[in-house]
Amino acid sequence: MILGIHHVTFISSDLARSRGFYEGLLGLKADPKRPLMSFDGVWYDVAPGQQIHLMLLPNPDAGVERPLHGGRDRHVAFMVEDVKTLASHLLSAGVAFTLSQSGRSALFCRDPDDNALEFVQAKP
């Protein structure tokens, strides 16, 4: 039986650019406990026992046309404290996003490698 999500992994074709997005824009901090592996990468703790892993590898989907709205693409959804504040940060950084079409307080954007990300307003 599934108990939760331990981590999600995204391929990064340019780790410095991806780190700028995940650390600079989203405010995540790299986990120094990532072991040495056969490829470069970074791990981020997003909640107790939950991580995002970036792997520096060639993007097998490079050049593939993705849907404009990330909700129509494979994606992962993260809970955030304030979707409006995130939207403001994305606008300031020039990162395109779309609002959830379900009426929920949520938005979709893409990271530098076109991975679709959903951010859902946490309920008070």
Q: Are 43 and 33 in contact (CB under 8 A)?
A: yes
**Residue 29 pLDDT > 90:** yes
Beta bridge partners of 53: 9, 43
pLDDT recorded at residue 17 = 97
**Residue 124 pLDDT > 80:** no
**Residue 79 pLDDT > 90:** yes
Backbone dihedral angles phi then psi of residue 92, each to the nearest 5 degrees: -60, -35
Domain regions of the chain by residue span = 7-56, 70-121
pLDDT recorded at residue 93 = 96
Beta bridge partners of 8: 52
CA–CA distance, 70 with 122 (Å, rounded to integer)? 19
Q: Superfamily for 7-56? A: 2,3-Dihydroxybiphenyl 1,2-Dioxygenase, domain 1 (3.10.180.10)
pLDDT recorded at residue 63 = 86
CATH fold, domain 70-121, is 2,3-Dihydroxybiphenyl 1,2-Dioxygenase; domain 1 (3.10.180)
Asked if 7-56 and 70-121 have one fold, the answer is yes
Q: Are 95 and 25 in contact (CB under 8 A)?
A: yes
Q: Is 93 helix (H, G, I), strand (E, B) or coil?
A: helix
**Residue 22 pLDDT > 90:** yes
Is the pTM of the predicted complex or chain greater than 0.75?
A: yes
- When pLDDT is averaged across residues 88-98 and rounded to a whole number, the result is 96
CA–CA distance, 70 with 67 (Å, rounded to integer)? 6
Helix ranges (H only) for the chain are 15-19, 83-93
